[in-house]
Copies of this chain bind each other. A is one copy, B any other.
Amino acid sequence: MSHAAAQAEPSAPITVPVPLGERAYDILVGRGLIGTAGARIAALGARAAAIVTDAHVGPLYADALAASLEAQGLRISVTVLPPGEATKSYAGLERVCDAVLEARIERGDLVVALGGGVIGDLAGFAAAVVRRGVRFVQVPTTLLSQVDSSVGGKTGINSRHGKNLVGAFHQPSLVLADTALLDTLPIREMRAGYAEVVKYGLIDDPGFFAWCEAHWREVFAGGPERDRAVAQSCRAKAAVVVRDEHENGDRALLNLGHTFGHALERITAYDSARLVHGEGVAIGLCLAFRFSASLGLCPRADAERVEAHLKAAGLPTRLGDVPGGCGTVDALLDAMAQDKKVKGGALTFILARGIGQSFIAPGIEAESVRAFLRDETNTSRP
């Protein structure tokens, strides 16, 4: 099994449909998909494709992708951007829009995002606004982007007022999640993406969480379990997105662990040397469960089980795990209040009654959060 998995030969991919009416699309999950990209993208009827990638991913995969597209007769351009969150800026948007226009992409043509979440969010946003909307295809190259940012149509850039505060809902026409690309992913990025995989189990699928506990090593190693984990995560996210495409309700469940996680990212100034998004989410998931337990909503044993699993997978689980610390309780609360999910001034949390039983809890009092964080800060510090 692991021998077959280690090969890069294409097998039949798993198809995850995202049934959004006239914006419906498929997510394909499998090893070696990048080699089949040309035929699949040509089938969408485009005559040209503007590939957008970054200087980490481009040198590894852009040639293979371009060749596959050119073999189908598509006119190709490739734009290589600096890697990292700073690229998700107004300047980055202008650069990508200009490149797409330069490539004479018309309404029937395509933008192809080859990279992680930064490239997907930025290229997707550019596709949303060039000529008031051209189609785009995602080829996510990290576990995080395969299970999270490539599903749901959220695109955008960062503002000096916060992350992802400027953007659009723009659904891709196709997502090709080539799980073989993860073979070369740094272990820290793999773990960070895995925190989002676990999240789907914690939201509403206790069976999937148990499956993760049993199979996480194979997911990391690249066996067929990896494809299954990616596909199941996409299915779970798609199900929520279909219920609530524009985030007016249920979609907030996907923020489980994120109110805390975003605050930690803000506190650490988005310095990836200290904390990457998925690590913030891992700590945030543990905090959400422990907060739920402290409010008497959730068995303490469930909170401990969440922590044990994330810890086993090599992820941070406590405020004290953040290198350089995470500031005072007040600073954390301030950082949380800045979150864009704040509505009418009240704090909204995603809490849980147990593993796989999360729910939206609006109007949580700042005082009860403060008391909880005070306890956490004390127990976290050595």
Chain A: residues with CB nearer than 8 A to chain B? 90, 93-94, 97-98, 101-102, 106-108, 125, 128-133, 154, 156, 159-162, 165-169, 246-247, 340, 342-344
Contacts and interface: CB of A to CB of B under 8 A. Distances in A.
B130 A98 contact: no
A154 B169 contact: no
A117 to B, nearest CB: 16
16 contacts: A90-B93, A97-B166, A98-B160, A106-B342, A106-B343, A108-B344, A129-B166, A130-B166, A131-B165, A131-B166, A132-B156, A132-B169, A132-B247, A133-B168, A133-B169, A133-B246
A161 B90 CA distance: 17
B132 A98 contact: no
Q: Is the interface of A mostly helix, strand, loop or mixed?
A: mixed
A125 B97 CA distance: 15
Contacts of A97: 159, 165-166
A97 to B, nearest CB: 5
A167 B132 contact: yes
A15 B106 CA distance: 37
A154 B132 contact: yes
Contacts of A344: 106, 108
Given A167-B132, A168-B168, A169-B132, A161 B94 contact: no
Contacts of A168: 128-129, 132-133, 168
B169 A101 contact: no
Contacts of A94: 90
A167 B101 contact: no
Nearest to A126: B166
Contact of A340 (B131, B160, B167, B169): B131
A47 to B, nearest CB: 8
B132 A129 contact: no
A224 to B, nearest CB: 36
